[in-house]
Chains A and B, each alone.
Chain A
Amino acid sequence: KNEVEQSPQNLTAQEGEFITINCSYSVGISALHWLQQHPGGGIVSLFMLSSGKKKHGRLIATINIQEKHSSLHITASHPRDSAVYICAALFSYNTDKLIFGTGTRLQVFP
């Protein structure tokens, strides 16, 4: 069964801390997305990865295909980073159907 698991479910941090959110998936994938869901509900795409590492500003996403694992890192966290971070996977090259994880709720305190 195609499943995506995230940990932790909830994460609190002090401003400036380095944050890591983990995502693992059950079987091979064609690509993995990291998304941010705002408190109002809107979803923003952060990264799409099929291998290696990507960086955008203070955000870094890595993926290890052999270990079926991806991480999202936030350096120098800030209260405005508070949101739910979701990983979602495409389990085949022939599908457009994203399978979502449960999300990690991050709160960064000043």
Chain B
Amino acid sequence: EPEVTQTPSHQVTQMGQEVILRCVPISNHLYFYWYRQILGQKVEFLVSFYNNEISEKSEIFDDQFSVERPDGSNFTLKIRSTKLEDSAMYFCASKDSSGNTIYFGEGSWLTVV
């Protein structure tokens, strides 16, 4: 079964530091996403990425956040100047052109202290 892999699984960072969360989507997938889930809350959409550019982003995804696909395999989420309220589980997801199934990674748990 193909899978989306995310690293790190858990990161603790000081407030104000920059964090990069990494994802390797499934190899033939074309659509990539980041979602987040604050503890005890709903999963929230952050951003979608297609054809090497952002296709849609939520109001949460402000200038503090950026995404990049630096090579043919990795998809990264950068959070600049982290705040306490950025503490959450961040999920990467991908899907192919048929769009019937979206595959999620196991998540990266970010704790900002």
Contacts and interface: CB of A to CB of B under 8 A. Distances in A.
Contact of A48 (B31, B48, B101, B109): B101
Interface string B81-113: 000000001010100000011111111010000
Interface residues of A, number: 20
A42 B103 CA distance: 10
Given A96-B31, A96-B33, A33 B102 contact: yes
Interface string B26-57: 00000101010100001111001010000110
Interface of A: 33, 35, 40-45, 48, 86, 88, 95-103
B58 interface: yes
Nearest to A88: B43
A95 B103 contact: no
A45 B4 CA distance: 12
Contacts of B102: 33, 45, 48, 98
A103 B42 CA distance: 8
B38 to A, nearest CB: 12
